[in-house]
């Protein structure tokens, strides 16, 4: 069977008008930039993270662009909370087209001192949290029968070790990458594409202490040929690509946004 695109389809391939996106971690550096980016191209956005008040800024930016924003409090470590987030999405918009799982945490310490509690907490937030959000989104997409796009947030740390204490975080992101491939293969028959972005370090309030430390900055820049950390906005084009027919034959892909790190 052929799935050809007309010139109009090609011209409008990034148009998200009428689409509903859910972005977890919507108050964070990445989640905020991605929410605004999706709204700029026409999507209504459900912005979620644990504390409702932290979502006000992102929601206001989305609405300023003339799109609808629904801020929803959701702890991705809790199944009931994730179910409730999806119920609110469906109650408000009747569907979900795009899920971006940008919620995540990083706890770093030397590998020999990494406590099992911290290790499990990172795995729970980053891996269990990603799986649960993908599951509730996919169930609605399957029910509606119109396909959909899921974009998980991995990391360059999911490919490579790093001296700065990433035993929990790196392991969790490696798991996110493989989970992404597994979901892509299982859900392709429902026309649900599942892809991941794998950024190198980018500026957020949380990475500012690392990147403001001259020595640490040097350590991180040693492996980024482009010679700078990423910005949250550097993730937007990749998410847009993976959310639209621009990537209609792409699924199970881990798209590095790393200034050439993985090419080294
Ligand atoms: N900042 C970087 O350098 C970098 C690099 C590669 C990948 N990432 C990944 O990008 C994603 C976004 O990170 P960021 O840098 O924007 O961080 P951030 O700390 O600015 O944002 C993280 C977001 O996740 C939310 N969150 C954390 N735990 C949660 C939970 N249990 N339930 C719901 N929400 C929760 C936070 O409230 C926040 O909105 C994360 O998955 C992170 O691992 C970040």
Tens digits of residue pLDDT in 197-241: 999 999 998 899 999 999 999 999 999 999 999 999 999 999 999
Provide the greatest CA pair distance for the chain.
Answer: 57
Q: What is the pLDDT of residue 232?
A: 98
The per-residue pLDDT for range 161-182, each reduced to its tens digit, is: 999 899 999 999 999 999 999 9
The best mutation among 22, 23, 25 to test binding of ligand 1, ranked by most ligand atoms within 8 Å of the C-beta, falls on: 25
In the residue annotation, 169 being an active-site residue is answered as yes
**pLDDT value of residue 202:** 97
User: Ligand 1 center to residue 22 CA distance, Å?
Assistant: 15
Q: Which two tokens stand for residue 111?
A: 């590998």
Please write the tens of the pLDDT for every residue from 92-119. 999 999 999 999 999 999 999 999 999 9
**Domains in the chain, ordered, with CATH?**
17-202+235-255 (3.40.50.720)
Query: Which pLDDT value is given to residue 94?
Result: 98
Closest residue (by CA) to atom 20 of ligand 1? 28
- What pLDDT, on a 0 to 100 scale, did the predictor assign at position 18? 98
Q: Given pLDDT bands bounded at 50, 70 and 90, which one contains residue 247?
A: very high
CB 198 within 8 A of CB 235: no
pLDDT band at 37 (very low <50, low <70, confident <90, very high): very high
- Within the chain, residue ranges assigned H as helices are 7-11, 29-40, 56-64, 79-93, 116-123, 129-144, 167-187, 208-212, 214-221, 236-243
| Cα 107 to ligand 1 centre (Å) | 12
Out of 41, 169, 217, 241, pick the active-site residue. 169
- pLDDT given at position 152: 99
Contacts 24+ apart (CB under 8 A), 39-42: 39/65, 39/67, 39/69, 40/65, 41/14, 41/15, 41/16, 41/240, 41/244, 42/15, 42/16, 42/17, 42/18, 42/67
Ligand 1 center to 105 CA (angstroms)? 5
Which pLDDT value is given to residue 240?
Answer: 98
Q: Tens of pLDDT along 119-152?
A: 999 999 999 999 999 999 999 999 999 999 999 9
Per-residue pLDDT, 253: 98
pLDDT on residue 205: 87
Residue with tokens 């001296």: 163
Give the residue whose CA is nearest to atom 28 of ligand 1: 104
What value does the mean pLDDT of the chain take? 97
Query: How far is ligand 1, taken at its centre, from the CA of residue 25, in Å?
Result: 6
pLDDT, position 206 = 83
- From CA 146, how far away is CA 129, in angstroms rounded? 24
* Edge-to-edge strands, sheet with 69-73: 69-73, 44-49, 20-24, 98-101, 148-153, 192-199, 254-257
DSSP-derived 3-state class of residue 177: helix
Q: Is the pLDDT of residue 1 over 90?
A: no
What does 14-51 look like in DSSP terms, one character per residue? T--TT-EEEEETTTSHHHHHHHHHHHHTT-EEEEEES-
Asked if the model's pLDDT at residue 264 lies above 90, the reply is no
């Amino acid at each position: 069977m052929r799935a050809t695109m007309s010139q109009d389809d090609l011209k409008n391939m990034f148009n998200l008008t009428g689409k509903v996106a859910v972005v977890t971690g919507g108050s964070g550096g990445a989640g905020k930039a991605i929410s605004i980016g999706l709204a700029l191209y026409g999507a209504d956005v459900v912005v979620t993270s644990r504390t409702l008040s932290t979502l006000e800024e992102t929601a206001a930016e989305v609405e300023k662009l003339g799109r609808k924003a629904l801020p929803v409090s959701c702890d991705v470590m809790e199944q009931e909370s994730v179910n409730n987030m999806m119920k609110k999405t469906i109650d408000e918009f009747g569907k979900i087209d795009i899920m971006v799982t940008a919620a995540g945490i990083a706890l770093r310490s030397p590998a020999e001192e990494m406590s099992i509690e911290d290790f499990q907490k990172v795995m729970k937030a980053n891996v269990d949290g990603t799986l649960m959000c993908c599951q509730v989104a996919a169930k609605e997409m399957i029910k509606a029968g119109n396909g959909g796009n899921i974009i998980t947030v991995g990391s360059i740390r999911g490919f490579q070790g790093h001296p700065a204490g990433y035993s929990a975080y790196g392991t969790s992101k490696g798991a996110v990458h493989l989970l992404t491939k597994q979901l892509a293969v299982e859900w392709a028959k429902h026309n649900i594409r599942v892809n991941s972005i794998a950024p190198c370090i980018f500026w957020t309030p949380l990475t500012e202490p690392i990147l403001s430390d001259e020595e640490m900055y040097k350590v991180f820049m040693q492996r980024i040929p482009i010679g700078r950390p990423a910005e949250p906005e550097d993730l937007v084009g990749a998410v847009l690509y993976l959310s639209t027919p621009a990537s209609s034959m792409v699924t199970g892909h881990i798209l590095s946004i790393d200034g050439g790190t993985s090419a080294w």
